[in-house]
A = this chain, B = another copy of it.
Amino acid sequence: MSSSLNVPIIGYHRSPLSQKFGIPRQPNLVAVPSVIQMVNPFNTAAAFVGLEDFSHLWISWQTHHNKAQANFRPQVRPPRLGGNSKVGVFATRSTYRPSQLGLSVVKLIGVEATSHGVIVHISGADMVDGTPIIDIKPYVAYSDALPNAVSGFAPDKPNSKPVIMSSSARQQFARLISQDRDKNSLSKTKSLTPLYPEDIDIISRLIAQDPRPAYRQSEIDSIFVMRYKYLDISFKMNAEGCLEVIKLCEIV
């Protein structure tokens, strides 16, 4: 018997989050809309007949930002334990794992058959833009939903932190949203690129998860930058313990 398995990539994730920094640490923490673009030969509407009768999906995906491991490392330091304590890799969902496989439950928004192929609209993914997709399966509540399961060091949702926005950041958002609306007034379908009013709320919720690495979360006034669509968004923890959005820079 072979000691490995070759698995085809069936599509790619397209998301406003093009860098790992800012990606929620588990699925469904923030309802960020994104899509899966299927690739041939999986790029056929026939393969999705019946999917829209399900509200949620399991996505298996490749943690492609982590190289395949030349040598097995049996332990990792999960962020939930402050990044200091080591636990077994199979006791975590760390992306540093032998399979390079991530697993996320996401909300299904809809399946769209376009002239270029099939696009699966989802929300709540914890996958970066460009993530290779390995499988899509329906969420079956009677089998998958175990609300009383005991969940070790991750018993509850991570706390979210208060987020405030500087007035200059607010003004920048308003200006860009208005610009994008004018540009796209003739476009019938929303693409992921332009900035919409709802993005302000999504960005706030992403930052409220505190994307800063665990070992730097006590730092006051250090600037961190989260990329979202075409923006680099600077924020810091202020002296009052709020995460403060300071400014936006357009990526050129």
Contacts and interface: CB of A to CB of B under 8 A. Distances in A.
Contacts of A142: 26, 151, 154-157
Interface stretch (A95-103, A167-175, A178-186, A188-196): A95-103
A143 B139 CA distance: 13
Nearest to A49: B88
Interface stretch (A53-61, A228-236, A239-247): A53-61
Nearest to A98: B8
Interface in A92-149: 92-93, 97-101, 103, 105, 132, 134-149
B134 A101 contact: yes
A50 B152 contact: yes
Nearest to A130: B1
Given A5-B134, A74-B47, A88-B50, A103 B152 contact: no
8 contacts: A3-B8, A7-B98, A47-B75, A53-B153, A54-B151, A97-B135, A144-B149, A147-B147
Given A101-B60, A143-B26, A137 B90 contact: yes
A139 B149 contact: yes
Interface stretch (A38-46, A201-209, A215-223): A38-46
A91 interface: yes
A4 interface: yes
Contacts of A4: 6-9
A6 B86 CA distance: 27
Interface of A: 1-10, 26-29, 39, 41-42, 44-51, 53-56, 58, 60, 62, 64, 68, 71-72, 74-75, 86-93, 97-101, 103, 105, 132, 134-157
A53 B155 CA distance: 10
Contact of A56 (B8, B41, B87, B146): B146
Identify the 9 closest CB pairs spanning chains A and B, nearest first.
Answer: A53-B152, A50-B91, A50-B87, A47-B74, A55-B150, A51-B91, A49-B88, A46-B74, A99-B135
A99 B26 contact: no
B88 A48 contact: yes
Given A6-B6, A62-B5, A72-B42, A141 B152 contact: no
Contacts of A39: 3
A151 B140 contact: yes
A155 B88 CA distance: 35
A154 B132 CA distance: 28
The winner among A45, A103, A151 for most chain B CB atoms within 10 A is A151
